[in-house]
Amino acid sequence: MSVSAIGIDCPSCGAAVGIRQDVCEFCERPVIVSTFNSVRDMPLPMLNKYAGAYRQLLEQSPSDRGINNAIAMCYLKLGLHYKASEAFEKAMNGNFDSSETFFYAAVCLLGGKKAFLAERSIINKVEEYINAALLIEPKGIYYYFLAYIKYDYFYRKYFNTSPTYLEALRMSHDAGVAVSDFDIEQLYAILCVSRPAAL
């Protein structure tokens, strides 16, 4: 279901813009954020403005995948993992194009805690979402996140798993796009955990 409004106000500057306009022509900020990088360095007051604008849009069209994805990114940046997870679930419904939606949904399921502390049912769902993201687009950081899950949950608990964390780590380097240290640092910042020495 799409948003029925013809136009909206830019969440950043308040100018009238089209709902499918990517960037506001006045302030040159994104209208509907689609990636975490769009909100990563956004100051808290601006982030709250965006989240508020998206909440209003969701009142008109609660099942819009793009708006749910956008507000989920805002909630994730704010550390509201449960709310982000709910919004990502709505954004994933029937969406087989956005690997990042599945990836960040997997991140949210851990709730800002180490994978080691999660219940097995949560880990199973995390793996399901990571695998969905990898089917859509096999990015190195997705394999790296899988390696983290395989290490912190399976290896540390002495569970057999396939692939092992070392195999997943190798896949992260073979994925075609090398995983940068910056991407790895950002992943652990979003996860709210420290990087294990083995990874």
What mean pLDDT comes out for the span 29-38?
A: 82
What mean pLDDT comes out for the span 122-140?
A: 96
45-103 tens-digit pLDDT: 999 999 999 999 899 889 999 999 999 999 999 999 999 999 999 999 887 888 999 99
Give CA–CA dist 78/143, Å, rounded.
25
Identify the H or E element spanning 124.
Answer: helix 120-136
133-150 tens-digit pLDDT: 999 999 999 999 999 999
Query: Would you list the domain boundaries of the chain?
Result: 1-95, 99-199
Degrees to nearest 5, angle at CA 182 with 69 and 88: 15
* Strand boundaries in the chain, DSSP class E: 7-9, 16-18
What was the pLDDT predicted at 7? 57
What was the pLDDT predicted at 19? 63
pTM of the model: 0.87
Q: Which residues of 88-115 are buried (b: 16+ CB within 10 A; e: fewer)?
A: bebbbeebeebbbbbbbbbbbbbbeebb
**Count of other CB atoms within 10 angstroms of residue 6:** 8
Identify the H or E element spanning 50.
Answer: helix 44-60
Q: What is the DSSP letter of 12?
A: T
pLDDT at 38 over 80: yes
Q: How confident is the model at residue 156 (pLDDT cuts 50, 70, 90)?
A: very high
67-83 tens-digit pLDDT: 999 999 999 999 999 99
CATH number of 1-95: 1.25.40.10
